[in-house]
Amino acid sequence: MFSGENPGFSAGAHAVLNKDSELGRGGFGAVYKTVLCDGRPVAIKKLTVSSLVKSQEDFEREVKKLGKLHHPNLVTLEGYYWTPSLQLLIYEYVSGQQIQSALGYMAPEFACRTVKVTEKCDVYGFGVLVLEVVTGKRPVEYMEDDVVMLCDTLPPDEAVPIMKLGLICTSQVPSTRPEMSEVVNILEMIRSPQDSSQGEELG
């Protein structure tokens, strides 16, 4: 695994991080495709959750742990790049929409494991799925300036609370995401508001 610390790599990295080479975006940042000088295609993940990266030492320690993970279902981490203003993870490039689409469901804390990964990561992925169902758009299809139209198959009295639930589940701060048991209760209330109100009256 290489670190990409030389000035040439830095200049090249800034050159390829543009809209033309962008593959998609997720909660942790954008992913770009480029080709290394030896001809290998790679996917570069530009992190936008720099608040999770406490120092270069922490970043490098956690990245090297990721570099030791090998599995047929995992994309190989080829290298990394770190400066106070720019952090990159360099992965082998795997073509196909399945890999690109999966990026959007990953919680931001997956980008740097100095933050403990918990069940709240699953809550984040569920929230992304909820928003995908309501908007009809996949998580890596949107850009920041896009106007999102809600699917017209959902009644407004259901679409709005479901959208709010999805947004709460995808909070950038893990501790502010609800527990899945709370999510289930909220969904039950949205599905059967009359039953919920009757239950409250009986209680």
Binding-site residue set for ATP: 46
Looking at per-residue pLDDT, the higher value among 26 and 127 belongs to 127
Q: Is the pLDDT of residue 27 over 70?
A: no
Per-residue pLDDT tens digits for 104-123: 677 777 665 555 668 888 89
Domains annotated on the chain, with CATH = 7-103 (3.30.200.20), 120-195 (1.10.510.10)
Binding-site residue set: 46
| Residues whose CB is less than 8 angstroms from the CB of residue 79 and which lie 6 or more positions away in sequence, other chains included | 1, 2, 3, 4, 90
Q: Is the pLDDT of residue 39 over 80?
A: yes
Share of the chain above pLDDT 70, in %: 63
Does the CA dihedral 7-5-24-35 come out positive or negative? positive
Give Dmax (Cα) for the chain: 71
The mean pLDDT value of the chain amounts to: 73
**C-beta atoms surrounding 168 within 10 Å:** 17
Q: What is the pLDDT of residue 179?
A: 94
pTM check: above 0.85: no
Residue 97: strand, helix, or coil = helix
Confidence bin at 140 (pLDDT 50/70/90): low
Highest mean pLDDT among 56-70, 122-136, 164-178 belongs to: 164-178
Average of pLDDT values for 84-92?
82
Residue 86, CA distances (Å) to 91, 92, 116, 177 in order? 16, 20, 22, 27
